Amino acid sequence: MAVISGDAQTAPPNTALAEPLVVVVVNQFGEPLKDITINWAIVSGGGALSASSSVSDDGGHASVNYTTGPTAGSVIITATVHGLPPLGFDETISAS
Residue 29 per-residue DSSP state? T
Give the global pTM.
Answer: 0.95
pLDDT digits (tens, 9 = 90+) for 35-93: 999 999 999 999 999 999 999 999 999 999 999 999 999 999 999 999 999 999 999 99
CATH fold of 2-93 reads Immunoglobulin-like (2.60.40)
What torsion, rounded to 10 degrees, do the Cα atoms 8, 71, 63, 42 define? Answer: 100
| Torsion sign, CA atoms 19, 42, 1, 91 | positive
| Mean pLDDT, residues 2-15 | 97
Looking at residue 63, its pLDDT comes to: 98
- Distances in Å between the alpha carbon of 34 and those of 9, 59, 72? 27, 7, 36
- CA–CA separation, 51 and 47 (whole Å): 12
Q: Where are the domains of the chain?
A: 2-93
Looking at residue 96, its pLDDT comes to: 65
* Chain-centroid distance, C-alpha 84: 15
